[in-house]
A = this chain, B = another copy of it.
């Protein structure tokens, strides 16, 4: 459902740039979109209503990957099994594609059919999440984060957790939840972001020397931390109201993913 929705989006009036943006958008596992739609269900809404918000989150995720992969940042040449955007299209187009994807996320939400207060809440939630994500990427790049566990947790709360948390919150906004009603889900989402990053680090074992749980505490301890994080996330989710079966399933998927 989300794939068809994303494929159908017009991202630029210039066909060549639109193609480059869709290239960057293709091929993800859409975990954030699925979290958003599952959160909408947990909040009591039809998950399909969350499609624009879920789509926007995938646009943001694609933006962050395109820019993080650039030579000046992580300098990655393969992403999602294909050449990264700057390898396929050149650096200039990759920079502009990323900018365009970030902007398209806000444009999509601002122009969708959701009630005005919901659209505004989603724009606010997204922009908060993106700010955290960029802060985290800055700390990673500038190597300003301390290498100890507290520092890693801060860094990853920002870099990965911010958008994971925003994915869940946006789905709940679509269901009309605001303020304190979001609190138990936010606690769950923060833990889920941590879990996601520890598993990521385990999958990337042997990768370059970026700050990671594996390089900080070793693979065995990192696996134990992931198990504890999974348990805490499921406990926090159990304390939240609503139909959280899908969110629990996605938590297990994240804990058990192998690539």
Contacts and interface: CB of A to CB of B under 8 A. Distances in A.
Interface residues of A, number: 46
A60 B17 CA distance: 20
Contact of A14 (B13, B91, B138): B138
A98 B189 CA distance: 28
Given A12-B138, A17-B138, A67 B95 contact: yes
Contact of A92 (B12, B73, B90, B104): B73
A146 interface: no
Interface in A112-160: 116-117, 119-120, 123-124, 126-128, 130-132, 134-135, 137-139, 141-142, 144
A138 B95 contact: no
B95 A95 contact: yes
A131 B110 contact: no
Listed from nearest, the 5 A-B pairs whose CB atoms lie closest are A72-B91, A107-B127, A110-B124, A17-B138, A110-B123
A119 B131 CA distance: 19
Nearest to A12: B135
A129 to B, nearest CB: 9
